[in-house]
Amino acid sequence: MTTSFQIEGFTLRLATTADAALARAWCDADREHAWEAGQENYWIEQKPGRVECSVLEDAMGPVFFFKIQRDYRSAGLAVEVSIQFAPDGGCARLRTMQALSKGFAWLEKRLGEGGVNAVYFNSKNRRLIQFALLRLGFKEVANEYEPSRVLGFRRFMRAL
């Protein structure tokens, strides 16, 4: 199994136990993700065919963590993507936007080749939502997952 890929100036690699402390620190600094810090392996777990956690980094280091989970309510044809960014000031906004654009283009191709036909995420992050709508082609859809909806998260989806 390949554990890293080169993507136009970025490296995408599987997250490992060596990344756990950084992921926890970033979660602790982000009130919307703080609950994940209590789950020791949330950003590093690997369950082949179901859950994959990765780190996208450049020459300056990690830009963000992301987690892909197959949604078996959709017969595995959709995946949920979760992203943990560095705390404000930890990464330049332009660097993060470039990483999202290039990383998502690569991910979209890989998932499509694997039979996935949609990607979705839930968020309250105004900047991420705006970027996903304007630059990544996501559309807002009804959030059917009640715990998430009650907490004010909005759902965004993109067909592949």
**Per-residue pLDDT tens over the stretch 83-128:** 999 887 667 888 999 999 999 999 999 999 988 999 999 888 888 9
Do residues 66 and 128 make contact, with C-beta atoms less than 8 angstroms apart?
Answer: no
pTM summary value: 0.87
pLDDT class of 39 with cuts at 50, 70, 90: confident
Please tell me the predicted confidence (pLDDT) of residue 137. Answer: 95
- Please state which of the four CATH numbers 3.50.50.60, 3.40.50.880, 3.40.50.300, 3.40.630.30 is assigned to the domain occupying 4-122: 3.40.630.30
Please tell me the predicted confidence (pLDDT) of residue 133. Answer: 95
Please tell me the predicted confidence (pLDDT) of residue 90. Answer: 62
Whether the predicted pLDDT of 135 surpasses 60: yes
Please tell me the predicted confidence (pLDDT) of residue 30. Answer: 84
**Per-residue pLDDT tens over the stretch 45-94:** 999 989 999 999 999 999 999 999 998 777 768 999 999 998 876 678 88
